[in-house]
Structure 1
């Protein structure tokens, strides 16, 4: 079983923000799948199941995402190598997509929470959102909406990520990196 987690914040006002790119991938990935909704308050997550895949959008807000992922991981006995987390990354230019296992959180509070609750040994899909001109403005930047032009490009990027996720289910991460990294 695979657990595919999109990081983001709940609520309509966050729907198209840079910090919610993980949620956007989950929404696009599941929109045409036959899924069942799993209602369990212990999971603190919008959780969908399709075949041997679970799709999670934690409802804890970003800073406590690890609580939700840990609860799902433990309940379903999911191995770390079968957990794929999609998140925004300020250190990558917009449109960049990279893959890794482990590494630092880079100041990302969602990753910090995951690392604290399940360790760092899960698969990460880093989606570049660029960075603000003024480093003091990071919080406002990640919570700002993508521009119309960026949203148009993001549709193709999200479809590319979905293809990569499918590949990650059966292929080695190094092979996926070589085939699906976008720079």
Structure 2
């Protein structure tokens, strides 16, 4: 079984924020693979379903913590404990300012790199979970980061956001099979993005 957890803030006020692209990603996967209806559990909104992988259907739980972004680890930890899963069974989808808009990288383990949501999850389950990092770009100055991630995507961003979300969902069988590197490659094949964003003063891809 897999837990696919999105990072975001609850409520309509935040729904279109860059910080909520993790929620958008897991919602896209749930729609594409016709997961069951949304309900409340673990202090989260959850949906259950299966993703058709090459070796057969893989059971998966969509998790959207309702504890706000910086406290999301509580819900994630509770879900992993309930299902007796390890960090390797968790994929965390979240916005990454150190990737240009539309870029996508998979990674297992590592630090939080200043992301308080990732730090919260690490505090509850340890660092060795799988990370689906969704590039939203950097505003250029550190003091502008909070306003950047807590603002909505611009109209000019809508096409690449939609393409990326569709690719994440369509390529999900590779993720379900544990083929993270192939998943990353297929997502970027389906939704190619520029490495740099000339509209912003700085982007650092890591």
TM-score, normalised to structure 2, is: 0.82
Query: What is aligned with 1:101?
Result: 108
Q: Which runs of 5+ in 1 are unaligned?
A: none
Are 1:128 and 2:135 matched, yes or no?
yes
What is residue 166 of structure 1 aligned with on the other side? 173
Contact 1:36 1:50 in 2 (8 A): no
1:1-183 matches, within 5 Å, as: 1-32=1-32, 33-40=34-41, 43-51=42-50, 52-181=59-188, 183=195
Distance, in Å, in 2 between the alignment partners of 1:133 and 1:108 is 17
- CA shift, 1:81, in A, is 1.6
CA contact (8 A) 1:101 1:121 kept: yes
Question: C-alpha distance in 1, partners of 2:184/2:140?
Answer: 29
In 1, Cα distance between the equivalents of 2:19 and 2:96?
8
What does the per-residue CA deviation read over 1:117-152, in whole Å, with 9 as the maximum and x for residues that have no partner? 101111100000001133211111100100112122
Structure 1 residues 125-134 or 23-32, which shifts more? Answer: 23-32
Deviates more, 1:23-32 or 1:106-115: 23-32
Aligned pairs, number? 181
Distance 1:143 1:167, change over 3 A: same
Instruction: Find the aligned partners of 1:94 and 1:176 in 2 and give their Cα distance.
Output: 18
CA deviation string 1:27-72 (max 9, x = no partner) = 22223514044433xx110011114110000000011111000000
Q: Which has the higher helix share?
A: 1
Q: Which shifted more, 158-167 or 113-122?
A: 158-167
Return the alpha-carbon distance in structure 2 between the equivalents of residues 11 and 61 of structure 1: 10
Superposed displacement of residue 177, structure 1: 3.8
TM-score of the superposed pair, with normalisation by structure 1: 0.91
Report the RMSD for the aligned CA atoms in angstroms: 1.7
Query: 2 CA distance for matches of 1:95 and 1:15?
Result: 18
Deviation of 1:161 (Å) = 1.6
Q: Does structure 1 conserve the Cα–Cα contact (< 8 Å) formed by 2:29 and 2:172?
A: no
Q: Distance in 2 between matches of 1:4 and 1:60?
A: 16
Name stretches of at least 5 consecutive residues in structure 2 with no aligned partner: 51-58, 196-206
